[in-house]
């Protein structure tokens, strides 16, 4: 049985979509696959127990049929950290809990994918359960992801020098289009010279970075008052309508797949947005739109989201969401698989794992 730990140098680097796409390819190959997320970060109630949301999603989407009580034995909550610091929960107990659950998950499997949490060297460290420690505990090979930054060489080197032969390779994700040639012609050869195998160079993708109407509605604690059947539609751009209609129209006409954030009392901006390709309106201040706006939105099947917060607060909340929600929407999952096929070297991953 082989074990592959999928970690990243920082949070939100793309572990979720890479794990999903890799899992689908491995299943197509005919492998008996398992999945394990030893340290969970998104608690979710399932029947009479609590586990990790990402782990449940991957188990069900990959149709693995695993016991969901075992998927994520340690949930990284404030309570568990406090208990560990106070001595109520000895750290060795957490380690043993992970080992016991993994032993059961891995029975009769060819390969188990282990999903990392947050940043590889940092997240879970207070409990002695950083990605590095967990990977060593499970005797796993490691696939590392990183988002492109100007300091990428330093960030990768800091992690890689502590992994020795356990690191099978690296995937560089979310590379700006204008940096792709530099990464492929300079960064990749340099890392190869340091014996760090780069197994994928993935450009930034707006679809993966997008949010659905439903995700926006849920995370802004808001209400959708039209277009309730459009919650799966993707929003790739967010524009703020806080200027004159004449100024706004120039940007509205240039931008598709957009949401316009504006005050609920700005009927002029709302109507202007509805005259251009707009995915949804996000109206702030808990102010309902005019009947004219409602009628036009309904006629065009454009969702209107009503938010209690002011425009500035809403924009800040949206900025915190972009690129940080799990890949769930069907269109995003499909795009993830296309990106994996096009930009990640699956055959080299399999060769490194011996599968």
Look at the pTM and tell me if it is higher than 0.85: yes
* Spatial distance between the Cα atoms of 251 and 272, rounded to a whole number of angstroms: 11
pLDDT at residue 146, as a whole number: 96
Domains of the chain, first to last:
2-207+326-353 (3.40.50.300), 211-321 (3.40.1390.20)
34 CB-contact burial (10 Å; exposed 0-12 / middle 13-18 / buried 19+) = buried
pLDDT digits (tens, 9 = 90+) for 270-329: 999 999 999 999 999 999 999 999 999 999 999 999 999 999 999 999 999 998 888 999
- Contact criterion met (CB below 8 Å) for 173 and 10: no
- pLDDT, tens digit, 9 for 90 and up, residues 76-127: 988 888 887 787 777 788 999 999 999 999 999 999 999 999 999 999 998 9
Q: How far apart are CA 91 and CA 51, in angstroms?
A: 19
Pairing of strands 304-306, 278-284: parallel
Other CB atoms within a 10 A radius of the CB of residue 151 amount to 9
- Residue carrying structure tokens 């706004």: 248
Nearest to 11 by CA among 76, 71, 58: 76
Q: Which of 60-69, 109-118, 242-251 has the lowest mean pLDDT?
A: 242-251
pLDDT attached to residue 164: 76
Question: How far is residue 73's CA from residue 57's CA, in Å, rounded to a whole number?
Answer: 16
Residue 146: burial class (beta carbons within 10 Å; 0-12, 13-18, 19+): buried
CA dihedral 58, 152, 130, 2 (to 10 degrees): 50
């Amino acid at each position: 049985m082989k074990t592959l730990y999928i970690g990243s140098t920082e949070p939100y680097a793309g572990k979720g979509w890479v794990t999903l796409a890799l899992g689908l390819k491995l299943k197509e190959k005919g492998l008996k696959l398992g999945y394990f997320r030893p340290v969970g970060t998104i608690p979710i109630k399932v029947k009479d127990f609590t586990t990790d949301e990402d782990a449940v999603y991957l188990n069900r989407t990959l149709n693995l049929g695993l016991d969901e009580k075992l998927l994520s034995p340690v949930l990284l909550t404030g309570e568990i950290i406090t208990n560990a610091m106070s001595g109520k929960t000895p750290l060795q107990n957490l380690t043993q809990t992970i080992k016991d659950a993994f032993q059961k998950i891995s029975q009769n499997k060819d390969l188990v994918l282990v999903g990392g949490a947050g940043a590889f060297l940092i997240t879970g460290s207070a409990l002695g359960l950083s990605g590095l420690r967990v990977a060593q505990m499970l005797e796993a090979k490691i696939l590392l992801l990183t988002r492109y930054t100007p300091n990428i060489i330093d960030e990768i080197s800091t992690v890689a020098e502590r992994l020795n032969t356990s690191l099978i390779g690296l995937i560089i994700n979310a590379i700006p289009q204008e940096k792709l040639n530099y990464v492929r012609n300079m960064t990749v050869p340099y890392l190869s010279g340091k014996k760090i195998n780069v197994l994928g160079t993935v450009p930034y993708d707006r679809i993966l970075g997008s949010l659905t109407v439903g995700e926006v509605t849920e995370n802004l604690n808001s209400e959708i008052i039209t277009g309730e059947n459009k919650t799966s539609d993707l929003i790739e751009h967010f524009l703020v309508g806080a200027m004159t209609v004449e100024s706004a129209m120039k940007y509205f006409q240039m931008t598709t797949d957009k949401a316009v954030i504006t005050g609920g009392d700005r009927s002029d901006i709302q109507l202007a947005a509805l005259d251009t390709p707009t995915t949804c309106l996000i109206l702030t201040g808990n102010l309902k739109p005019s009947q004219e706006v409602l009628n036009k939105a309904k006629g065009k099947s454009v969702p209107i989201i009503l938010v209690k917060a002011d425009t500035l607060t809403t924009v800040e909340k949206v900025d915190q969401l972009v690129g940080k929600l799990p890949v769930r929407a069907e269109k995003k999952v499909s795009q993830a698989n296309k990106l994996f096929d096009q930009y990640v070297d699956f055959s080299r991953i399999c060769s490194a794992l011996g599968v």
